[in-house]
Chains A and B, each alone.
Chain A
Amino acid sequence: MYYIVKLFLIGFFLINSLQGVAQNVEFTRSQFPDDRRELREARRNLRQGDRLFDMGGGKYSLALNYYLKAQEFNPDNAWLNYKIGVCYLNSIHHKKAIEYFEEAVRLNVPTLDVYYKLGRAFHLNKKFDKAIDQYTFYRQSLTPGELIHEREKIDKRIAECNNAKELVENPARVFIDNAGSNINSNYDDYSPVINADGTKMFFTSRRPIGNRPRTDRNDHKYYENILKPRKLNDSWENPTEMGRRINSRSHDATAGLSHDGNTLLIYRGRRGGDIFISEFDGESWSRASQISRAINSNCRVSSATLSPDGNTLYFVSDREGGYGEKDIWYSNRGERGRWSEPVNLGSTVNTEYKEKSVFMHPDGKTLYFSSQGHNSMGGFDIFKTQYIGGRWTEPENLGYPINTPDDNLFFSITEDGETGFYSTRREDGYGGSDIYKITFLGPEKPMINTPERKLLSSVVMPADDIIMADEVEIEVTPMTIIRGTITDKETEEPLSATIELFDNEEDILLAQFSSDEETGEYAISLPGGKNYGISVQAEDYMFYSENIDVIESKVQREIINNIELQKVEIGEAIVLENIFFDTGASTLRAESYAELGVLYQMMVDNPNLKIKISGHTDDRGGWDLNKRLSEDRARAVVEFLIDRGIDPDRLEYEGYAYSKPIASNETEEGRQKNRRTEFEIIEN
């Protein structure tokens, strides 16, 4: 039953994901009866490829060359497609592995492992969901017996894919740049170690060095050697080999560098792998020597790093007592320079999987290391832990794109935290593992948006800010209209005369106008409650003045006031109606000035005119008093005119007291008329 279900699943998966199964074509004569020579060549390539493929390691790339030639001849061989996929999977071009594994599946390659490898190819190419599908399918395809060995590996891969999905979602802010062709080669280049300020670097390369470079029979790659590039400005010059004191005939790899750059920790492959040390005295490096038996004994010790004071060594070892195959340990140097028995860093850092390549930051508390455990996204990822309060913090994955589903190892960083180096395999590399530079951009710089604020309403929508003064209510005051006709006294012909209207109290000329030329009519509208003076002048006519009291009235009134003007003739006298004196005195009151001004103007306009001013009183009081008063008043008028420039010879005056009444002294109205000032023309 189990197998029936399994077959169903496989069939379903194949139909859905790979669109059917094709026919596998073997490299046989029956398949290629007409291409014998080509078949022979293809089979030869196949054999060569298989020989190298079976050696694995560095030989995959060589095997691939033969396989690709055979593939040209017969692209439909299931195993060949599978093997090409494996070669690509072990190269930096693992993306290409996908198509060959898929083709191998389509050709029904007789191994379930192809699904795991296809999953791994998807995994390395960051197609995590597809990878999970393949891993899951592979797990479901295995027998219970096979699962015993494979389950943990498969589940780990699926967990890595899930970790990767999270990490890729929140990438680290870094630039990753290949360290360039001055450092990297077609071979594996890795384990860069730098000093605190990043001015010195040493790294390991498996490139051929010397005339007769040797290869390691285990992986068929050249032995490791330590190289030292020189930094020039921001770039590194071609690296030089460190010489025999450092590089032996076996594996010699960079394991660590002190922060001052003068102590180099070296991994040597002898006796399973030990840490050696070399010191720089300012001129040359000392011959590498074992760091300590306590550290190196009975185990493989690879990467190592010193604390800033040089008294603690953190290192990676497979010694007994660890949590996994390889763990991070530390050892303290005593007063006599002896290293203590190593102590495991503990389960917070070390896992059941491998830890590798340890680096202590110059701050002395931040430890970087690579691990296959924790929340790795595949292979070794780089982690950071800090020693705070006597404990190591939970390791933190440095994140994508520093870490990838492939191995990411040998991280080191400058003291300022801005630049790091590590080694990994990427498609843009020069071949094998390469050294990459990491530029840390720091935390995300928050961008600034500039929202538009509208804090004050009236700025957006101007308020009606006008407070207006209202209309006024107009109170219509009843007016008095004075109108009449100005005529010649003798002929009664209408006259065009100039009329001046004065506010006697305020001594203001209110209006100056003319009577109608043809009719002699005039009209004026005045508010009541005031005393007005009217003076009328016409050429060749005697000056005429009048004083009118306009009473206040609630209704409109009309006063008819016809005026007759006399021709200027000697002996003609006229009353100056608007000359006023204080009671019983001869002081001219201010309201007289308007009329006096008219009189003055007449004298100016008629330079031959000689006049006599006469003063008159009513009959109250004695003669002498009235005589003197009337004379003083007449003189006051004359003096007014003289003061303004009229020749005194043109002026005479006389006081008549009450000797020449023009009205009855029996009534107040008559007495008022008798109190008067007159002028008379005596020469013209």
Chain B
Amino acid sequence: MKVYIILLVKIFMLPFFLVYSQPEGTDTIQIGEEEAMEAEKLYNEGVAYFHEEEYSGAMQKFNEAISIRDDFYLAYYNRGLTKYKQEDYSGAIEDFNQTLELKPGKAIAYYSLGRSYQKLGELEEAQKNYSLAIESDESIYLAHYYHGKVHFLLDDYEKAIDDFSNVINMRADFAYAYHDRGSAKAKMGDTTGAISDYQQAAVLNPSMYFTYNEIGNLLKQQEKYDDALEYFTTALRINDSEYYLHSNRAMALFHLERYEEALEGFNKAIELNPEYVAAYNGRGNVKYRLNKFEEAVEDYNKAIELKPGFGEAYYNRGISREMLRDPEGAEADWKKAAELGVKNAKQYND
């Protein structure tokens, strides 16, 4: 015989007391549908906590709902989301899997599994689950978006573009899809298409300062330094606390040979993030151009100290050392840079 449930609950603790007007002091035993209702009520309370971002409260409610009804798949699902929010991705995965066991084919459970795996860095597992989510319900645009994102991360830019295009077809106002498609196009060498997508993203969401940053980067690659500078400046107007925007803008100024302004930019980036190696490297480059080779070397040293695998800093330090009449030091730096994969360094290694 299976004991289903044993409940001995004081009637005055339950709202049903009011409904049934039980005499005080008498125990009322609630059976069957009543339990289900109680579980659902707890579940709804959990959802409310979740919306208020009170995740421990939500967790408690979902736990209680599940303790009453262990087949309550929605409670498992939302508990999984709560764990996800609490960055307990493995716990979340367990709950999403339990959801799918109780409710096979539940598309959002596949999607959320994908998110959890992606958070754990398991891209292939994430991608598999995004695919299952799309198979179960192709209208989940976020599944397409993250499917595209994983393709991007796996360097499959063509498929990423397809995914982001699907998202745009479903949600034409989703600026992120335009931005990310722009990045995929840039990776494919379609700079014009990339800039067009970035610009559309910026139109849809003008607060996306990082989109202006990317346009600036592409224009800089095209040696359109004045235009690039304008975009970096716009990005900084939106958010001047991002260290890398100061650094990237300083790089445009470097190419425009506006060295003093470039120095200011790199200094600001370092002030905002004293461990930002790209800014030390960039400042070293400016100092090189100002013929301050020893100071340049100091900056490259700092960059290397912070990031010992920073090949570009070795390469640049080699150039300054060459000018400091230290050919052995320069060659050692270029050799190290080449070992670290800096292509330019290889030609100076003989």
Binding site for B on A (CB under 8 A): 175, 441, 445-458, 460-461, 463, 465-472, 474-477, 479, 481, 483, 501, 503, 507-514, 516, 519, 521-527, 530, 556, 593-594, 597
Interface residues of B in 169-213 (CB under 8 A from A): 175-176, 179-180, 183, 186-187, 201, 208, 210-211, 213
A-B complex: 7 closest residue pairs judged by Cβ atoms: A452-B244, A455-B183, A454-B210, A457-B176, A477-B33, A527-B33, A524-B29
Per-residue contact bits, chain B 133-152, to A (CB 8 Å; 1 contact, 0 not):
00000001010011001001
Binding site for A on B (CB under 8 A): 1-8, 11, 16, 19-20, 22-23, 25-34, 37, 40-41, 43-44, 47-48, 50, 74, 77-78, 81, 84-85, 108, 111-112, 115, 140, 142, 145-146, 149, 152-153, 175-176, 179-180, 183, 186-187, 201, 208, 210-211, 213-214, 217, 220, 244, 247-248, 251, 254, 277-278, 281-282, 285, 288, 312, 315-316, 319, 322, 325, 342, 344, 348
Q: Is the CB of B312 within 8 A of A450?
A: yes
Residues of chain A contacted by B32 (CB below 8 angstroms)? 510, 526-527, 530
Q: Is the CB of B29 within 8 A of A451?
A: no
Known: A511-B29, A513-B29. Contact between A472 and B111, CB under 8 A?
no
| Contact among A468, A519, A527 for B78, CB-based, below 8 A | A468
| Contact among B77, B186, B187, B344 for A448, CB-based, below 8 A | B344
Q: Is the CB of B31 within 8 A of A526?
A: yes
Distance of B38 from chain A, by nearest CB (Å): 9
Known: A510-B5, A519-B26. Contact between A467 and B37, CB under 8 A?
no
CB pairs A–B below 8 angstroms (25 shown): A445-B322, A447-B288, A448-B312, A448-B316, A452-B213, A453-B183, A454-B210, A454-B244, A457-B176, A457-B201, A463-B145, A467-B111, A468-B78, A469-B81, A481-B28, A483-B26, A501-B31, A509-B4, A510-B4, A512-B6, A516-B27, A519-B25, A527-B33, A556-B20, A593-B1
Residues of chain B contacted by A507 (CB below 8 angstroms)? 1-2
Known: A457-B208, A469-B77. Contact between A175 and B325, CB under 8 A?
yes
Distance of B126 from chain A, by nearest CB (Å): 12
- Residue of B at shortest CB range from A175? B325
Known: A448-B315, A452-B244, A453-B214. Contact between A472 and B278, CB under 8 A?
no
Distance of A501 from chain B, by nearest CB (Å): 7
Name, among A450, A477, A527, A593, the residue most crowded by chain B CB atoms within 10 Å (CB to CB): A450
| Contact among B27, B77, B81, B145 for A522, CB-based, below 8 A | B27
| Contact among B23, B44, B248, B325 for A451, CB-based, below 8 A | B248
| Contact among B1, B85, B278 for A597, CB-based, below 8 A | B1
Q: Is the CB of B5 within 8 A of A511?
A: yes
Distance of B11 from chain A, by nearest CB (Å): 8
Residues of chain A contacted by B23 (CB below 8 angstroms)? 521
| Contact among B6, B322, B325, B348 for A511, CB-based, below 8 A | B6
Known: A441-B322, A446-B344, A525-B20. Contact between A465 and B47, CB under 8 A?
no
Residues of chain B contacted by A454 (CB below 8 angstroms)? 210, 213-214, 244
Determine the distance from Cα of A483 to Cα of B77 in the docked complex, in whole angstroms.
39
Distance of B324 from chain A, by nearest CB (Å): 11
- Residue of A at shortest CB range from B22? A523
Residues of chain A contacted by B50 (CB below 8 angstroms)? 468
Q: Is the CB of A460 within 8 A of B210?
A: yes
Determine the distance from Cα of A446 to Cα of B337 in the docked complex, in whole angstroms.
14
Determine the distance from Cα of A524 to Cα of B28 in the docked complex, in whole angstroms.
5
Residues of chain B contacted by A475 (CB below 8 angstroms)? 37
Q: Is the CB of B28 within 8 A of A466?
A: no
Determine the distance from Cα of A530 to Cα of B112 in the docked complex, in whole angstroms.
40
Q: Is the CB of A509 within 8 A of B210?
A: no
Known: A451-B248, A454-B210, A513-B27. Contact between A479 and B33, CB under 8 A?
yes
Q: Is the CB of B251 within 8 A of A451?
A: yes
Determine the distance from Cα of A508 to Cα of B31 in the docked complex, in whole angstroms.
12
Known: A451-B248, A472-B44, A477-B37. Contact between A467 and B108, CB under 8 A?
yes
Residues of chain A contacted by B115 (CB below 8 angstroms)? 465
Name, among A452, A461, A465, A527, the residue most crowded by chain B CB atoms within 10 Å (CB to CB): A452
Q: Is the CB of B43 within 8 A of A465?
A: no
- Residue of A at shortest CB range from B43? A472
Residues of chain B contacted by A450 (CB below 8 angstroms)? 277-278, 281-282, 312
Determine the distance from Cα of A503 to Cα of B31 in the docked complex, in whole angstroms.
10
Determine the distance from Cα of A37 to Cα of B165 in the docked complex, in whole angstroms.
103
Distance of A571 from chain B, by nearest CB (Å): 32
Residues of chain A contacted by B342 (CB below 8 angstroms)? 448
Determine the distance from Cα of A446 to Cα of B325 in the docked complex, in whole angstroms.
18
Known: A468-B47, A501-B29, A523-B28. Contact between A456 and B85, CB under 8 A?
no
Q: Is the CB of B316 within 8 A of A447?
A: yes
A-B contact sample (15 more), CB < 8 A, given A447-B319, A471-B48: A445-B344, A452-B244, A460-B210, A463-B145, A471-B47, A474-B41, A479-B34, A483-B26, A508-B4, A523-B22, A523-B28, A524-B31, A525-B30, A527-B34, A593-B1
Determine the distance from Cα of A452 to Cα of B48 in the docked complex, in whole angstroms.
40
- Residue of B at shortest CB range from A177? B325
Determine the distance from Cα of A509 to Cα of B32 in the docked complex, in whole angstroms.
12
Residues of chain A contacted by B26 (CB below 8 angstroms)? 483, 516, 519, 521-523
Q: Is the CB of A470 within 8 A of B47?
A: yes
Q: Is the CB of A461 within 8 A of B25?
A: no
Residues of chain A contacted by B5 (CB below 8 angstroms)? 510-511
Q: Is the CB of B34 within 8 A of A461?
A: no
Q: Is the CB of B348 within 8 A of A467?
A: no
- Residue of A at shortest CB range from B316? A447
Q: Is the CB of A456 within 8 A of B183?
A: yes
Q: Is the CB of A469 within 8 A of B278?
A: no
- Residue of A at shortest CB range from B44? A471
Distance of B292 from chain A, by nearest CB (Å): 14
Determine the distance from Cα of A508 to Cα of B247 in the docked complex, in whole angstroms.
71
Q: Is the CB of B22 within 8 A of A457?
A: no
Distance of A378 from chain B, by nearest CB (Å): 24
Determine the distance from Cα of A298 to Cα of B317 in the docked complex, in whole angstroms.
58
Residues of chain A contacted by B149 (CB below 8 angstroms)? 456, 458
Residues of chain A contacted by B78 (CB below 8 angstroms)? 468-469
Distance of B206 from chain A, by nearest CB (Å): 13
- Residue of A at shortest CB range from B221? A451
Residues of chain B contacted by A460 (CB below 8 angstroms)? 210
- Residue of A at shortest CB range from B254? A449
Q: Is the CB of B81 within 8 A of A466?
A: yes
Known: A460-B210, A463-B176. Contact between A556 and B31, CB under 8 A?
no
Q: Is the CB of A525 within 8 A of B180?
A: no
Determine the distance from Cα of A468 to Cα of B145 in the docked complex, in whole angstroms.
17
Residues of chain B contacted by A453 (CB below 8 angstroms)? 183, 214, 217
Determine the distance from Cα of A447 to Cα of B175 in the docked complex, in whole angstroms.
35
Residues of chain B contacted by A175 (CB below 8 angstroms)? 325
Residues of chain B contacted by A456 (CB below 8 angstroms)? 149, 152-153, 179-180, 183
Determine the distance from Cα of A513 to Cα of B16 in the docked complex, in whole angstroms.
18
Distance of B58 from chain A, by nearest CB (Å): 10
Determine the distance from Cα of A144 to Cα of B280 in the docked complex, in whole angstroms.
62
Q: Is the CB of B142 within 8 A of A467?
A: yes
Q: Is the CB of A455 within 8 A of B152?
A: yes
Determine the distance from Cα of A466 to Cα of B50 in the docked complex, in whole angstroms.
11
